[in-house]
Structure 1
């Protein structure tokens, strides 16, 4: 039993009041007050397109009810509270995706009964979100790689479990408001299939079964918007075409397409030299969003980008340099708006602090939330490195103005003087040598000042003025279980690392490139003054080999280093 009012109790109460002629205002759980959702909860069906438009922007309650451990705290997040959902609504989100993994809460065949306590907990969280005036997207999540992927070899068993799972979920939410949307399966794939054709056939069957079973339960489920995914939730053309065929075959006006987007892979994880959100990464994004727009949105089928972010965030949000990640999210938000795609930010707990109810990176949230409504200017960089020795030189930053203009440059509450401290010529902002000398004089290594460039529209762009000297690395000994290279960063920041064998060829993981994966093969430890080479890196380094490393820093400095591996022992020397 849920401690708060359930949907069926609300419906029965409303009916009783109508019979007695006492009906008053309908609660938030049964009707959305916002005019963006006409007819929701009123008996007038809201179209799938209207519902998806009203869901923008959305947020994922990730790594919580989808955790594969015994409960929702298994992956390190606190238990969900209504206050968390209220805080998300207050941050400007109109919808929340609630991923749920059901496997560990199900009994055996043939019933595959879902634990009533778990089902009640899921519906409680859904109910809270609805009462907080959020649209909700509920799904079957990590079951995709726990048992659904076995469908090629166990078709009947998987279909039986999938059917039983959705029969129970659909029955539990049968009369929930139409602001609750259901999603068939998260990022499906199939092991041991014969290839693309069979994959498409199996996913078509799952999506079709999902629609049939939910619709057959009646109530609001008869017309509720239902969300269907591509294979892997991929926006690739072949996968999009397959889903388009499924949606056409099912012929239900209340269907929604969904894909996920985590960016151009080398940039998304910072490998193969993909340190910047460059023209290639931008084109990858525009191509993906164009494909789903042309296949679905332009043909009347709304699209939800059910997850978006950067894959490197799974290790650390510092995997991608701050200014580059801000440019990525700014561009994504603006282009999604242009293509009428609803976006749901993936957050596994690394963005919104669910205990303090604050953003861990306010600048990132500022950039993302602004992109929902307006284009903001960005800079070619947010770092200006000023040598600690010698006379500073003027520094120029190219601006992507997005149709706006610079209105001011500030250092804290002090406004810099145009023409004296800085100049703006077209899309180029130049800080004078005197300004940089003044801001870095007698300062320690590191960030000496943060300048805020304000524009006539959108959010400002911060420039970090960094006093530095070339980094200094020292000799070391370690093991293949992990080796720390002592490093005096002296204000500089590590961008990437190359690894090649002295006798030729690329060393370490991803041997198709000399540039290794940030945070996976190597990671800077600024507080401890080390660069760590991981066991994963040495796992793919030949025994008895000499490896030449080149460390690339954001200032433009490079440092070479030599590694010798002898069994489990590693020796590192400068040069």
Structure 2
């Protein structure tokens, strides 16, 4: 999947036995439906025996995507990334990664007519990156990536031509890499999709390409005769109606060196912050639980190794734009995803679009160290969280005690710290069940002079995993001012945030109907319809949103902030001009 800047440990011979023990100890510690332990004996590979597909996929955990690089259009550097270096792969290995997925788009480096020759220089550049990663001891996955929508999607109307080009593409890739070690793996097609087809037709076309991919690679000989191959579901979607046909196809092929691949980006409203999906709530959690339960029951327990070739959030992180998400909600998402994948027996590959996303390819450090620590911790253990990572204190009010709900996730709460100083239970806080209450006296001390924003950071520490930060934050209700603008540049609304942060925007006409470019919900998409500009004290209504408004109609906006404060505003568009007034 494309992620542009506009959005967005190793295991020894007994690793499978260790995984089983981890599964048993983890059961029942999540707040959502637990995963059942695997049934039957666990296969253990004897020393010297060839690695099974399950062994290989397990040994690939954790995995990382070199996104927006060789899959960029038309060239490696087109989407803001540099050519990968040995230092990058060294750093990834040092971070604990055991495999990398190198998505490759071939379209602009291949003739569009027979014999569909791939440019030799392009093939050489792909091979160089593959070899750098392999030489670091990493497993490597290469694929056919954005070609899926550039020309493969035309299969319904150009069946024979698409099939011929697909086979020719894989014939050339297979020939180039036929003698490469078995740590190089192939993935047939990324997020396969087909224009103007029914679901059943799309599944059939996908099955035909999967079969062609396997046949071409196997017939190329060399190490390709037994190389592990990943076959995708239609769209790489982890739904039952798309996973069932792939499971049946994999079994019918009777090839022990095949595995399934799907992607997961979470519950859509939360993944992009739309339709009020601001929190990793029970609905989002259940969506995740259901997805991994399907991967486990339809693939893993049926003896089909499963590679989550991409995961993340569709809306970021993106250091070039204001975050769509409250930080604590993001941390909860990745904490639970790591646990869900481990208990399902699924290997995960983080989708990373570049230095503005997760792992900075210039500094070779995590762009957000806290998020990086949470993701890394999730590979091996659970972490405790809480209902929120912020305690908002209104400056206009007297400070009173505040309560958060702890989510230990199977760990044990150990206490609160401010830096190296441990807070005193009974004086600074109390715990009743999973209810953590910060006392008024402790909050008064922590708030200090009550300047707007974060006054103090304390940590809830647990018996395992990473600590949970709690930011004591002083605020007053944000203040918006009148503004004028146009539909081309957008409307910049002067805003005094006063320590608060924007969560979402609700937009309605006078009759209560939805106003904006997202018509199916009044809660518009963050960074698409609107965007806060904290450094310049403004909220911008973006052109896509303004152009969708009815001319002359007054629109009532409700800005929802993370403190719980709502601020009402009015907007009217007349031709190309827009006015905004305080309600």
2:146 corresponds in structure 1 to: 142
Distance across 1 between alignment mates of 2:150 and 2:512: 42
1:266 corresponds in structure 2 to: 269
Structure 1 counterpart of 2:549, from 530, 541, 560: 541
Shift of 1:34: 6.0
8 Å contact kept, 2:317–2:358: no
Summarize the alignment of residues 20-169 of structure 1 with structure 2, pairs less than 5 Å apart: 35=13, 45-69=50-74, 71-169=75-173
Distance across 2 between alignment mates of 1:494 and 1:565: 23
Distance across 2 between alignment mates of 1:432 and 1:43: 61
| Cα distance per residue 1:470-503 (max 9 Å; x no partner) | 1000011111121011100000011111000013
1:19 corresponds in structure 2 to: none
8 Å contact kept, 1:483–1:570: yes
Distance across 2 between alignment mates of 1:448 and 1:301: 51
1:505 corresponds in structure 2 to: 513
Matched, 1:346 2:372: no
8 Å contact kept, 2:270–2:280: yes
2:387 corresponds in structure 1 to: 380
- Sort the Cα spacing of 1:427 and 1:33 in 2 relative to 1 into closer, same or farther, 3 A: closer
Distance across 2 between alignment mates of 1:144 and 1:108: 14
3-state DSSP of counterpart to 1:495? strand
3-state DSSP of counterpart to 1:313? coil
Distance across 2 between alignment mates of 1:166 and 1:305: 22
3-state DSSP of counterpart to 2:230? strand
8 Å contact kept, 1:509–1:540: yes
Summarize the alignment of residues 386-465 of structure 1 with structure 2, pairs less than 5 Å apart: 386-465=393-472
- The size of the alignment, in residue pairs, is 541
Bigger radius of gyration among the two: 1
Shift of 1:560: 0.3
| Cα distance per residue 1:157-199 (max 9 Å; x no partner) | 1011101100010111111111111000000100122x12211
3-state DSSP of counterpart to 1:453? strand
Distance across 1 between alignment mates of 2:52 and 2:107: 32
Structure 2 counterpart of 1:286, from 284, 289, 308: 289
1:229 corresponds in structure 2 to: 232
3-state DSSP of counterpart to 2:186? strand
Distance across 2 between alignment mates of 1:489 and 1:461: 25
Structure 2 counterpart of 1:325, from 323, 330, 335: 330
Shift of 1:141: 0.4
Structure with greater contact order relative to length (CA < 8 Å, sep ≥ 6): 2
Distance across 2 between alignment mates of 1:179 and 1:57: 14
8 Å contact kept, 2:247–2:304: no
8 Å contact kept, 1:153–1:192: no
Shift of 1:531: 0.6
Distance across 1 between alignment mates of 2:128 and 2:48: 23
Where has structure 1 moved over 6 Å in runs of 4 or more?
36-40
User: RMSD between aligned alpha carbons?
Assistant: 1.8
Matched, 1:185 2:189: yes
1:476 corresponds in structure 2 to: 483
Distance across 1 between alignment mates of 2:222 and 2:366: 39
Shift of 1:418: 1.5
- Sort the Cα spacing of 1:43 and 1:106 in 2 relative to 1 into closer, same or farther, 3 A: farther
Instruction: Flag structure 1 segments of 5+ consecutive residues without an equivalent.
Output: 1-31
8 Å contact kept, 2:163–2:209: yes
8 Å contact kept, 1:45–1:223: no
3-state DSSP of counterpart to 1:465? strand
3-state DSSP of counterpart to 2:316? helix
| Cα distance per residue 1:94-117 (max 9 Å; x no partner) | 110000001111124211111111
Shift of 1:248: 2.3
Matched, 1:553 2:561: yes
Provide the TM-score with structure 1 as the length reference: 0.92
Shift of 1:76: 0.3
Is 535-544 or 322-331 further displaced after alignment?
A: 535-544
Shift of 1:33: 11
8 Å contact kept, 1:78–1:355: no
| Cα distance per residue 1:423-459 (max 9 Å; x no partner) | 2222111111111111113142001111111111111
3-state DSSP of counterpart to 1:552? strand
Is 405-414 or 544-553 further displaced after alignment?
A: 405-414
Distance across 2 between alignment mates of 1:277 and 1:358: 26
Shift of 1:43: 8.9
8 Å contact kept, 1:37–1:51: no
Is 156-165 or 311-320 further displaced after alignment?
A: 311-320
Distance across 2 between alignment mates of 1:241 and 1:407: 44
8 Å contact kept, 2:322–2:532: no
Distance across 1 between alignment mates of 2:397 and 2:103: 55
Is 422-431 or 320-329 further displaced after alignment?
A: 422-431
Shift of 1:571: 0.8
Distance across 2 between alignment mates of 1:383 and 1:37: 39
